[in-house]
Structures are given as C-alpha cells and as structure tokens.
Structure 1
C-alpha cells in the first residue's frame, strides 16, 4: 500500500504536465476545458491504472515480473523530499533513478537472449555504478 501511495504521488506529479498540455490542447481546439476537479479525477484514474499495470502479476512472464519489481522499487526509492537546492535535489533523485537502471539491466542480463542487449545492460551497470558513486561523493563532500 505504501508503494502504491508513493507511486500515485510520483505519478500525479509526472502527469501534471500531460494534464496541463491536455487542457491547453482542449482549449485551443474549442473543446471543453476540464475543471481542476475533472483534471484531478482524470489524473488519479490514470495513475491508478499505471500503478495497477506496474504491479507484478502471477501470469506475467518471469522477465516482466522482474522488470515490474525493479520499476516499483525505483519509484518508491525516488520518493525523496526536495530541499530547494537544485544541486542536491538533482543528485538525491538521480541516485535511485540510476539504481533503477542498474536493477533493470540486471533483469536484462538474467533474461535477455540477444548478446547486444546483454552487452548494453552490462555497460549500463558499469556506467551507472560509477555515476552513483560520483553523486554520493559530491553529496558527502557538500554536507548531504
């Protein structure tokens, strides 16, 4: 339930832009412009569907289950408080994003068949581990 709430909050923030774009598009084409409540309800429904789609299901193929678990963990880990300092916020939000890329790459190494996919996944792991270390070092040096 905590993960679902976290995903809903993150998704609402993410889709706020799409909702605004939708409202602008509707306005420019003479269609009904959604009220704030209608937009909020639509976003909430969209987010609930997204969360449901991201939840591993017993009938999902093993790779899909593993990808969904990685997605859910990343979304949960990205729920970090903002400080108002763009340098800090960038790093504290990118670290779990990069860890999510690592976790997804590990799923690819486990399940993928194509050697190019596996090579790309391995490179992503190596690159993201290095970048996470750099961001953590910066945060430590700068008191966070």
Structure 2
C-alpha cells in the first residue's frame, strides 16, 4: 500500500471509529506479534507518524479515545508489516493475526471503559475466541513461513 493510500485509510478509520479502537499495550503485551510476520527494514514505530484523530485535538479526547488512538497505531503497523510479506498465504495469516490483536484490544477498551453488560459480554467472548485463533495462526506461521 503506498503512503498516500495508507494515510487516507488511516484517516478514514480514525474519523469513523476512533472512539472504539484498541489501547496500545494490552493485546500487544499479552500476545506478541510473530517475528516471522515482521518485515525487515520497515519502520516499526508509528508514534512519530502523523495520524489523524478524526479532526479532534488530542487534548479534547477522553482517556479511552487516547488509548484507542495509540492502539490503532500499533495495530496498523503490524497489519502493514504482515501484508508486505512476499508469500500470499503468510501475508494473509500475518495480517489476520494483527487484525485479531486489534479486535482483542478493542474489546479490552470496552471492558475497561464500557458499562453496558451486553457489550461487555460480547467483548469478553471476542477476547476468548481471538486469543485461541491467534495461537493457531502463530503456530502456522512458525511452521510455514520461511
């Protein structure tokens, strides 16, 4: 994906859903993104990149919105790294691992800040299912990725 398309995609996602995206450290610290999914030479720190905040100044964001924006940077970096793999199968699985990690992070935001019991139950169900799938996909990557 070229830089302009990446920025446009990031801005669109931020504008539509910045309030529900993942917190930075939670899923990333609980489950590490597989080394075989990382692309050598690709910048891994998006914290210095200008990321759209949906037009809202950072100072006006709530704590959950700030955590969500930080997490979105981590998720997008991992997804972009995974999708840059030369093997289509490895690229798909690595991209899905990052995507699932983002789903876990989004769910953790809900558990931390949400107060609707139904939404919180959905979040916990997502965490449980996605962790299992990440483990399965990570084992596949370890075995199949060169």
Q: What number of residue pairs does the alignment pair up?
A: 107
1:33-82 deviations in whole A, cap 9, x for unaligned? xxxxxxxxxxxxxxxx9724288712111221222222122112222152
| Bigger RCO (CA 8 Å, 6+ sep) | 2
Which residue pairs with 2:6 in the alignment? 10
**Corresponding position: 1:95 with 2:97:** yes
Q: Pairwise CA RMSD of aligned residues?
A: 3.2
Following superposition, the deviation at residue 92 of structure 1 comes to 1.0
**Based on CA coordinates, which of the two structures has the bigger radius of gyration?**
1
Query: CA 1:7/1:63 → structure 2, altered by over 3 Å: closer, same or farther?
Result: farther
Q: Which runs of 5+ in 2 are unaligned?
A: 12-49
Partners of 1:69 and 1:56 in 2: CA distance: 14
The alpha-carbon distance between structure 1 residues 14 and 108, as it changes in their structure 2 partners (threshold 3 A), is closer
- TM-score, length-scaled by structure 1: 0.61
Give the match's secondary structure for 2:119: helix
Structure 1: tracts of 5 or more residues without a match = 1-5, 16-48
1:112 to 2:110 alignment: no
Structure 2 length normalisation: TM-score? 0.61
